[in-house]
Amino acid sequence: MANLPIHRVGIGTDLHRLEVGGPLRLGGIDVPFDKHAAGHSDGDVVLHALIDAIFGAAGLPDIGEHFPDTDPRYKGADSRMLLTLAVDEIRELGYAVANVDVVVHAERPKLSPFKADMRNVIALLCETTPDAVCVKAKTNEGVDAVGRGEAVASTVIVGLVRN
């Protein structure tokens, strides 16, 4: 899929407070850490931003409208399942994920050892190949809630192609 022309582009962002007790779920994997992202579901900021990017590219309502935090069905939900539902929905509209570009914003933990696993999980869930997924990690140089280690965030851009 990586060589197909892009028909639609979407961007998604997410940010969650960090609370004591790990692990930290990012990109569909558990990263060993002494904190976790607080959220109604599993708090996976990468997959939440990815879902919003997919919905945005397809011209659909955002993650909060699809999977509201007021709905008890999504309490503690695995974001991998939510991403699968999002990919199913765009497939029904005639789209497929062509590429995914992820930035994870976290002061700690260091994410280099986990980026390849995130890339592979994202590719599998998006029904594309690992070479169509890029995962980058950035610190915020001590600035703002992310830089102080109080939060973790992600920004994702997605390209969709027509099936």
Per-residue pLDDT reduced to its tens digit, 35-75:
999 988 999 999 999 999 999 999 999 999 999 989 988 88
**Where do the structural domains in the chain lie, given as residue ranges?**
8-162
- Backbone angle region of 79, left / alpha / beta, with phi > 0 → left and psi within -120 to 50 → alpha: alpha
Fold of the domain built from segment(s) 8-162: 60s Ribosomal Protein L30; Chain: A; (3.30.1330)
Instruction: Give 105-151 pLDDT, tens digit per residue.
Output: 999 999 999 999 999 999 999 999 999 999 999 999 999 999 999 99
Where is 157: in which H helix or E strand? strand 151-162
Which residues, listed in sequence order, are joined to residue 61 by a DSSP beta bridge? none
Pull the structure tokens for residue 10: 């979407």
Cα–Cα distance between 34 and 96 in angstroms, integer? 36
Q: Phi and psi dihedrals of 114, rounded to 5?
A: -110, -5
Pull the structure tokens for residue 9: 């582009």
8 A C-beta contact, residue 125 and residue 83 = yes
- What confidence tier does 6 reach under pLDDT thresholds 50, 70, 90? confident
